[in-house]
Structure 1
Amino acid sequence: MKKALLLYNPKAGNRRIQGSLDFIANKVQQLGYQLTVFRSYAPGSIEQFIVDEVTQDDTDLIMISGGDGTVNGCINGMIRKKIDLPLLIFPLGTANDFANTANIPSNVTDALSLLETGEPRFVDIGRVNEKYFINVCNMGIFSGVSHNTDLTLKKNLGKLAYYVKGIEELQNYESMDLEIEYVVDEQPRLLQGHYVLVLIFNGQGAGGFNRIAKDASIEDGYFDLIAIKDVARYEIPRLFVQVLQGEHVSNPNVDYLKCSKLTINCLNDSNQFVTDVDGEMGPKFPLNVSVVPYRIKVFLPKTSTLQGRISLKSQDDFFKLITQFQNKNQL
């Protein structure tokens, strides 16, 4: 009998998984799998469980339930343990940006059906220093939002909790003095300047905004880098609206490029700036970032073009908050 492992974050997405566990177990057993279940109990516990308990030889399928951070822990554990098994994702977190890029259904029934109707496909991931990410690595303003947002607020407001926290950060932030070295067509290039936010995308979105890097692909071997320059404070809200709508490509205050490898050095006090990988705390500067092409095999819809879904409600919620912030501060 084939063996399947279900790893889940019980707190993700207002505990959405809890009403579906029996359904998943029943369906997986009908498909001929013997199921083992592991419940996350602390940050990092899924990654450590994989490292300590899972082997390539005693498992045929890994299923992971949660948001981008939960998936991040899973892939880091798999890579550390040198496990190359197909991964089925139940995107049940507060934000599920990688799943949106990959067109993975947010409904448990539809996601589970990918075992029969979908196909396992290799996708790119990113590496930053010694940590891996599946969707995005970012630094600067908003980068601490996902790990600084109160759990009760997330439970009550969902993604809106992130937006409320993000608006708070607009009132007090510092710019980063960065050197960004990258390679295009084997030629070294350099960006240098003061930036308020840098995003390195494998996927297309972050924080529920799914078209920020609308030309990004998880199958092309490249990152899409978006670096927002430090501008007058009254310009910041309007600039962020452009970025979140994917309309920033020609904006002179935004550096946008594709690359597969880069190094980022922070020339001012780097300890005051947070880095983030898939919604989890990232490493300290300097950052060495590279694409690891076709590294993880994920069950995807056969017809998927990996162009992502647009969450209009998420965008509307945030833009309303931006407008309120501008009016309050007379920007």
Structure 2
Amino acid sequence: MNEQLPRSAALVVNAKSRNGQEAFREACRLLTEAGVELVSAVAVRDPDHLTTKVCEAVRDGAPMVIVGGGDGSLSSSVDHLVGTDAVFAILPLGTANSFSRTVEIPLDVAGAVKVIAEGKPHRIDLGMIDDDYFVNCAAIGISPLIAETVPHGLKKRLGRPGYLAWAAVQMARFKPFRLFVEDDAGKIHEMNALEVRIANGRYHGGTELVETSVDDGEIVVQAIEGRARSKLLWSWGLSLLGPDKVRGTVREFRGRRFRIRTDPPLPISIDGEVLAKTPVMARVAHRVITMAVPR
């Protein structure tokens, strides 16, 4: 593979993301100063139009497509880069920026632009929930409940602290569930569960929870077993100490694909957006896009 990144790109920014509006102007300036020609640059005010603009950029032959936004914006964009020669590059402008942390992209605009200007191309894995590609992590349990109900203004004003405060409020509504994980060998693992993470990346909610990488050809399913909410809180608390501590509180499955079912059927948040419902097939798509990463 050519170890140099393209010197021209299309820029698409979710202006409704937490830092989108001001970051767009800064990114345009810094990219131009760094010698990256912008063949097109658009700040999308309606997030529903972001994927349309990404698709147009790929169709028009942009050699690199830079997407600015949170994990949800990045996740919805990658479907349009699979099977193309376009390089995927990112500006982390969300609340948790879990995927950016996973691939070690600096969380400030200047640092992210430096990666785009001076970094290298690298083939990475994507996760899949049925036919939907995602970049970092899908979740079952309280995460979809939070994603469905959190006021956008709360996330925009307070960031991660506001998100965590809302999670505490929603805990009172949360109920454990029955989980069934079928592996490639056809064996079904059954348990009571409090939360399930389906991970391509290491971070979830901005916290490192999974020991994995985005090019190892595996999807990781982590389940917090039990019925007592206190165990969920305990696991979250240990997450602050690192993924090695978390693994003592979870049951973990690693492989290329898993059939996942719950009783009752439950919504699934995919990189922060509620987009699916159990039962689903979770799998890894091995090294299907090229991404700009630090050199």
Scaled by the length of structure 2, the TM-score of the pair is: 0.89
Corresponding residue of 1:121:
122
The letter for the 2-side match of 1:38 is: V
Corresponding residue of 1:20:
26
Among 296, 299, 303, which residue is 2:292 paired with?
299
Among 258, 280, 290, which residue is 1:287 paired with?
280
Among 195, 204, 212, which residue is 1:206 paired with?
204
Among 62, 73, 76, which residue is 2:76 paired with?
73
C-alpha distance in structure 1 between counterparts of 2:220 and 2:258, whole Å: 11
Among 257, 260, 265, which residue is 2:261 paired with?
265
User: Relative to 1, partners in 2 of residues 1:194 and 1:154: Cα closer, same or farther, differing over 3 Å?
Assistant: same
C-alpha distance in structure 1 between counterparts of 2:118 and 2:229, whole Å: 49
Among 237, 252, 258, which residue is 1:256 paired with?
252
The letter for the 1-side match of 2:15 is: P
- State the shift of 1:172 in Å: 2.2
The question of whether the paired residues in 2 share the 8 Å contact of 1:149 and 1:161 is answered with no
Among 10, 13, 31, which residue is 1:8 paired with?
13
- State the shift of 1:150 in Å: 1.2
User: Relative to 1, partners in 2 of residues 1:195 and 1:244: Cα closer, same or farther, differing over 3 Å?
Assistant: farther
Deviations 1:9-32 (A, max 9, x none): 11212435144144145236x34x
SS of residue paired to 2:183:
strand
- State the shift of 1:136 in Å: 0.3
Corresponding residue of 1:241:
237
SS of residue paired to 2:75:
helix
Deviations 1:121-171 (A, max 9, x none): 011001111211100011111223234221221222111111011111222
Corresponding residue of 1:326:
none
RMSD: 2.2
For residues 98-109 of structure 1, the aligned pairs below 5 Å read 98-109=99-110
The letter for the 2-side match of 1:298 is: M
User: Relative to 1, partners in 2 of residues 1:234 and 1:108: Cα closer, same or farther, differing over 3 Å?
Assistant: closer
C-alpha distance in structure 2 between counterparts of 1:46 and 1:178, whole Å: 34
- State the shift of 1:199 in Å: 0.1
- State the shift of 1:95 in Å: 1.4
Q: Which moved more, 1:115-124 or 1:240-249?
A: 240-249
The question of whether the paired residues in 1 share the 8 Å contact of 2:196 and 2:223 is answered with yes
1:93 correspondence with 2:94: yes
Identity of aligned residues (%): 23
User: Relative to 1, partners in 2 of residues 1:22 and 1:124: Cα closer, same or farther, differing over 3 Å?
Assistant: closer
User: Relative to 1, partners in 2 of residues 1:142 and 1:192: Cα closer, same or farther, differing over 3 Å?
Assistant: same
Corresponding residue of 1:39:
43
- State the shift of 1:84 in Å: 3.0
SS of residue paired to 1:72:
helix
The letter for the 2-side match of 1:207 is: G
The letter for the 2-side match of 1:26 is: T
SS of residue paired to 2:165:
helix
User: Relative to 1, partners in 2 of residues 1:95 and 1:239: Cα closer, same or farther, differing over 3 Å?
Assistant: closer
Among 36, 47, 53, which residue is 1:49 paired with?
53
For residues 142-221 of structure 1, the aligned pairs below 5 Å read 142-183=143-184, 187-209=185-207, 211-213=208-210, 215-221=211-217
The letter for the 2-side match of 1:291 is: V
Corresponding residue of 1:305:
none
The runs of 4+ residues in structure 1 deviating greater than 6 Å are none
Deviations 1:263-317 (A, max 9, x none): 112232x1xx321111111212211111001012111112xxxxxxxxxxxxxxx
C-alpha distance in structure 2 between counterparts of 1:157 and 1:127, whole Å: 31
